[in-house]
Structure 1
Amino acid sequence: MKFHIENLGKIKQADIEVNDLTIICGPNSASKTWLSYSIYHHLNSIFNLSTFFGLNHDVFTYDSYGKIDIESEKFQNELSMLIETSFDNSNSMLHKTFNTFESIFEKSIVSILDTANYTKIITEKLKDIEINLGIANHPTRIQKEKDSYIIDVLYTEDEKSEEENTLSNKSAIAILLSASISSNLSRSGIELPNRPFVITSERVGSLVFQKDIDGTALSIKESLESLMEEHAENNEINSIIMQLNKLTIGNRASLAIPVRKNLLAVRNADSELKKQSYLAKEHPYVSDALNDIVKGKFTVDNGTLVFSSNDDNHQLPITITSSSIKSLFMIDLYINSLAKKGDVLLIDEPELNLHPDNQRLMAKVITRIANSGIKVLITTHSDYLIREINNAISLSNDFENKNKLLEEYNYLEQDVLKQSQVSAYSVSNTGKVSEMNITNFGIDDSIFDNIIDEANQRQEDIMYAVDPSLFEDE
């Protein structure tokens, strides 16, 4: 999926493709996290297809026999139009994800450049469900049998006059189809693609201060904001909800939505840790790679989140473990308990608080996730992590004694990335976003090399000034 972004913080313009692995590099305060959060926000708006419900746009048409072929290119184009409409609405709500003033993002625009793959997936999934929906007091109804691409549009006799039916037939069909996508798919247990899950750079603070933040208030705020979106056009209802928000929440939950999501995951750790994720069931080698870093497990004991080392030498409350263990908890929770096939996992600084050797191992974790049916988007400052990802890309080449080398360094086939699986971008201090060149040997990491070369040169100059004899030829 490709995003076009304009006027986001320092960033004037950017085109970002969410690939199997997407990497965003750059200095501090270059708006990397803003890029990540804005992509999360819009992926969320697509995934929560209930946002389509009630959009009275004449986007769905039907033939003279009252049938809609959902396999047709026409249907997919119309679904794309509906997604684009959702994006327009989503742009106006971007400030809510950041939990800040609307004026900060009033000129920000995020659009989607490619909906074809997503609409194809939705269309294929719609084939597997039955539809029998109508609207109260309206003559239009739609029906579809399981394993069929044909939706029948039916009309019933209505005792009320046409004047009382202010909703047009096309609008009614749009609403019914939106409802069928948003509700029937979930009721059928069919998982939609591109569910975003974000792991923020504030994840350590989420663990340290969670008990001091009113988790119940966060839950109330989530519910109230959902109601506000649902009744966005009703000023009277919105006014009441805003008053409730002010009375019950005040300023206690003034956090960006991704941070709040991490806090709620920590708050619900007791129940979340009992789940087994798609990765844990289908791709255990991801957990194996993570365990090489964590070297232990997380559990809840008498209401307290604790970490137990693999060697059973210690069991500690999470609040007094090392900063590296704290930074790994959300990643561990996602991989072992929350991951679903088709997800988009966004991680701010996966290398946070990790030793260089563990940064390299984290690259292996990320590579294995990207090869498992889950897309990964990361922001990073780590040249160690990038270099290991470059090793994964280099290993996709065919060369003599390849298997011997893989065995020597304990690489699995899931540790190998094709060049085509990776997208990489650098963001400058001024907010200029540039696509990084990727060859069959990996990502052009000269932005790191230049910094390292400069540091080495400075050290050499100082050493020479202190003791020139160190540089004399032997």
Structure 2
Amino acid sequence: MKIKNLGPIKDGEIEFNNLVVIWGDNNSGKTMLTYLLYAIKEEFKSFKFELSKLSKKTHDYHNYINKGSKIFISNDEILDLYKNFQNYFEREASVLLAKYFAVDVEYFKDFKIKFSDHEIFDAMPMKRKISRGFTRIIGDGKTIENTFLFKKIKEGVEFHLEKQEIDGELLEFDNSSLTDKMIKKVFTRETFDAYLSGFFKHMTNSASNIYFPAERVGINQFREELKLSRASKTPELDEIEFSYQNNKSAPYRSYPLPVEDYIKYIFSISSIKYRQPIRKNVRKRKNLQDILEGEFIYNKDINDYEYLSENCERHIPFKIMSSSLKSMFGLSEYLNRLHPMVSGGSITIDEPEMNLHPSKQVKLIEELTELISNSNINMVLSTHSSFIARKLINIVLKNDSSVINGRVFKNENLNIYETIDGGLRKINLLKDHSYIDNFDVTSLKLDEEYFSLLGD
């Protein structure tokens, strides 16, 4: 995609990949770029794909569904639907970014974005092969339950009403027990588009999109204070459990939306529903264990999390944990509860190295690249860490020069961009790995100063 006038970035091109890494000087547009990429994926989640308006031949699709017929949607039609989303985002970009950045729309009046024809189609492929959905409606005093099947095939997708039950009894299609009035309630044109949109997002796993902002240490530390502050500004206050308003235009929202979404996520970690034991079948994450050197444990007696070190049996209250643990809290909870069969989704981390010793920064990027390979999760990272950059180089060089069985992270899975001189420069680690200006120029100057001082 081509972008213009995104804060300090006056002109540049950037593409999605399994891992997008952004580095550069302070105030050069890195965080703004991560907000933009996050906004695109978030808007995709809420966009309504209207196949019924795409062409004349599709206007009766909902009627075919009601009769149990299979609907075939070609890859070309899916591509056109995705292009409709791209056109929407290009057209409404300034308004959308004003919402995500929590600023006046005038700030983005000169912002422009232009996607390539296949941009979103390629960035959010359907990784699931099959999915089912259910509806329950009441008509003429009877309960109708419908099961819909959505299946990915090479040429596109198939969609049909797999089975239908009335008051628990399985029906044959066109059964006389259903009146015309009841049949019309099963699948209208509007419900067809809504279901199609939902299936697309489920098949791409686009609903799994999470942002870990640079502000996470403070949010993690003061999450209870934030919860009480928000509770005082909304009438929806439960004295036992705080319910976060799922309204992205809530009147009290003052932070950029990616930060607000992380606050919502942190609130959910403290919810009763979330406080379930980690599943036994979740893979032990060796790198994550090496970083934490212990684990976070919820203490119901104090209604808060504590840290239990591998080297000490004493529980440490959250408020006096180290900054590195506070930085890793949300991410570690997310990764530890990530289902091993999950395929897809997106994670964005602003400064993953925050408060981590260099040795643990290296462990973290090892964990994240393994996660990309094993779970098909896409990531965006904004970093100032030369250790993360160097470890990425080593991972790419190792995997691209060896014959390795299984799925591994390779250079083709990686896009690196440097924010520089008001633009974006793409970096190929296999060609530009011996010297990285953004990090090495500072190290070289320090070495020159050191040897100069020794010589004096």
- Aligned counterparts of 1:306 and 1:293: Cα–Cα separation in 2: 16
Match of 1:453 among 439, 444, 455: 444
| Partner in structure 1 of residue 48 of structure 2 | 52
- Matching residue of 2:222: 209
Among 427, 430, 438, the residue aligned to 2:419 = 427
Equivalent position of 1:438 in the other structure:
429
Distance 1:348 1:176, change over 3 A: same
Amino acid at match of 1:105: F
Candidates 388, 393, 398, aligned match of 1:395: 398
- 1:433 Cα deviation after fit: 0.8
AA partner of residue 439 (structure 1) = L
Q: What letter is aligned with 2:24?
A: G
- Counterpart CA distance in 1 for 2:107 and 2:52 is 29
* CA gap 1:130/1:266 in 2 versus in 1, 3 angstroms: closer
Give the whole-Å Cα distance in 1 for the aligned partners of 2:295 and 2:422: 39
Give the superposition deviation at 1:274: 2.5
Residue aligned with 1:306, SS: strand
Q: CA separation in 1, counterparts of 2:399 and 2:258?
A: 34
Is the Cα–Cα contact under 8 Å of residues 20 and 380 in structure 2 kept in the other structure?
A: yes
Q: CA deviation at 1:37?
A: 0.8
Where does structure 1 lack aligned partners over 5 or more consecutive residues? 134-142, 159-171, 229-244, 404-411, 466-474
Which residue pairs with 2:195 in the alignment?
Answer: 180
Post-superposition shift, 1:39?
0.7
What does 1:22-421 align with in structure 2 at a 5 Å threshold? Answer: 22-48=20-46, 51-52=47-48, 58-62=53-57, 70-87=72-89, 88-89=91-92, 91-113=94-116, 114-117=119-122, 121=126, 149=158, 173=189, 175-183=190-198, 192-193=205-206, 195-213=208-226, 214-216=229-231, 223=245, 225-226=247-248, 246=251, 249=252, 253-271=253-271, 272-274=274-276, 276=278, 281=281, 284=283, 287-301=285-299, 302-337=302-337, 340-372=342-374, 373-398=376-401, 416-421=408-413
C-alpha displacement at 1:117, in angstroms? 3.2
Question: CA 1:210 to 1:130, structure 2 compared with 1: closer, same or farther past 3 Å?
Answer: closer
Distance of aligned partners of 1:61 and 1:445 in 2 relative to their CA distance in 1, 3 Å threshold: farther
* Superimposed CA distance per residue, residues 403-457 of structure 1 (whole angstroms, 9 cap, x where no aligned partner): 9xxxxxxxx977x5311111101012x4321101231785863431222111111
Does the aligned pair in 2 maintain the 1:47–1:192 contact within 8 Å? Answer: no
- The alpha-carbon deviation at position 207 of structure 1 amounts to 1.7
Q: C-alpha deviations, 1:36-92, integer Å up to 9, x for none? A: 0111011111123xx327x79943431698679543244223312332244234542
Letter of the 1:149 partner, please give it.
E
Write out per-residue CA displacement over residues 7-28 of structure 1, whole angstroms, 9 at most, x where no aligned residue.
1101112222221221101111
In 2, the alpha carbon distance for the partners of 1:224 and 1:343 equals 20
CA contact (8 A) 2:297 2:306 kept: yes
The amino acid of 1:178's aligned partner reads: D
Residue type of the alignment partner of 1:52 = K
Partners of 2:338 and 2:230 in 1: CA distance: 19
Q: Does the Cα contact within 8 Å between 2:244 and 2:267 map onto a contact in 1?
A: no
Q: 1:455 to 1:194 in 2, by over 3 A?
A: farther
Q: CA deviation at 1:192?
A: 2.6
User: Secondary structure at 1:52's aligned position in 2?
Assistant: coil
Q: 1:70 to 1:33 in 2, by over 3 A?
A: farther
The answer on whether the counterparts of 2:51 and 2:81 sit within 8 Å (CA) in structure 1 is no
After TM superposition, the structure 1 stretch with the greater mean CA deviation from structure 2, 31-40 or 62-71, is 62-71
Please state how far the C-alpha of 1:313 moved relative to its aligned partner: 3.8
Q: Residue 434 of structure 1 aligns to a residue in which SS?
A: strand
Q: CA deviation at 1:268?
A: 2.6
**Range that drifts further, 353-362 or 211-220:** 211-220
C-alpha separation in 2, matches of 1:275 and 1:5: 44
Gaps of 5+ in 2: 65-69, 138-146, 152-156, 162-178, 182-187, 237-242
* Shift in alpha-carbon separation, 1:98–1:61, aligned structure 2, 3 A: same
Paired letter, 2:212: I
Sequence identity, in percent?
20
CA contact (8 A) 2:98 2:105 kept: yes
Q: 1:120 to 1:151 in 2, by over 3 A?
A: farther
Over the residues paired in the alignment, what is the CA RMSD in angstroms?
Answer: 3.8
Q: Give, as a single letter, the amino acid of the residue that structure 1 aligns with 2:38.
A: Y
**Alpha carbons of structure 1 residues 435 and 269: separation in structure 2 relative to 1, 3 Å:** same
